[in-house]
Structure 1
């Protein structure tokens, strides 16, 4: 799908097919989440990903698993210890998280959202498998919209405002320039301020210039940009900049986690290099 402008969200969707196949490969999703395009792209990129892993110790699938499983662990904690019963996953793509968590927690209301075309595809997928019901739904949203029925306010309109909520975005943040994504975070923090307790879970790739594989990381980032017909800017330089950025957007409490430091608890092999991805847990 061609990029319409620097402020367009449309170029994100192709990567959803690739990650959908990765989740399936690692037994996190049923085969219904696999698309022919996702399987094709994974096969096409396999020589490159193998070379990055063998030559530089950069394992793209390990990075994807780190962020995914760390968010899963934080969501599990919010449900089991924080009493959360409503979850909103924005830019859900072909993520199997909603399916897995609704099956595990029958009390949970799970609202998935994405751009109209991807939302329609996800809705058809879940409906075809008999997984959609009153507590598991899919809606259309555009995180850049400030008016209309695809804005954040419309997405949150039907949630129970007297109950805590968790909002998730995964594989979204680094597709946008910092000014645009901070605008989204500010609108999101404003919406979450209407709930008695609210948590936002996301991941980002900081601009870690001191990392021993920084040059290879930049090469990989440029490749992602070409594949998605967009850009993939790296935001912030360190922990303090991340915390300051989220607080500037209206989040009162910000925790920055390095999933590679928690690999064993997440069921992953230890990393030979410092982590590249950070998972953020921000509360209003």
Structure 2
């Protein structure tokens, strides 16, 4: 209990809120690396995942690559890249490390979101005269968006926690109090840094959970929440719920 009090006292101390290594500066660095890595990973993984989910080809390769990327230790990869690329390019080495960490979850979320859609929904969309691109953008992408956001959520949490190791190569972030405090045996500082990282991860997780819920198409949400007694009349529209959800959520609806 005393250690928790000491950690809180360290956080609110005035000297922790000014200077080069102030907590606001470290927080911005932590968020900067996280958003940059997840953004770059999304640009790489999401189009590939959508292509796999839409065509049904390459899933085995994607699973193998994702598994191999997950098995790579981030700390070891960071040190290796710093040695290979050069000490003057530590930021690039760190960014590559975090991008590789984020790709598997985003890739899995992208292709599983499309593959989880009922094939009858896709067939109905094609029967309505939609082209392949219309099926992708008006049906598959909207219906697969919740799982994609779920992959984004997982990737963000993994990256924001792992960015703490950037402080080991003097790149700042909320890992700086932890890395600095360990050799000094300043356990209040180490615990304070850990608490701040955990709080940041919880806040991001909560925000992305709300985004994931909002990503569910309106028609699909209505289908999930409607009770049997709320719709006593037989429905004459036999269009599958997935198509109704896509049409309801499309801009032209």
TM surpasses 0.5: no
Instruction: Give the structure, 1 or 2, with the largest relative contact order (CA under 8 Å, sep 6 or more).
Output: 2
Structure number, greater radius of gyration: 2
TM-score, normalising length: structure 2: 0.24
Answer 1 or 2: which has greater strand percent: 1
Answer 1 or 2: which has greater helix percent: 2
TM-score, normalising length: structure 1: 0.22
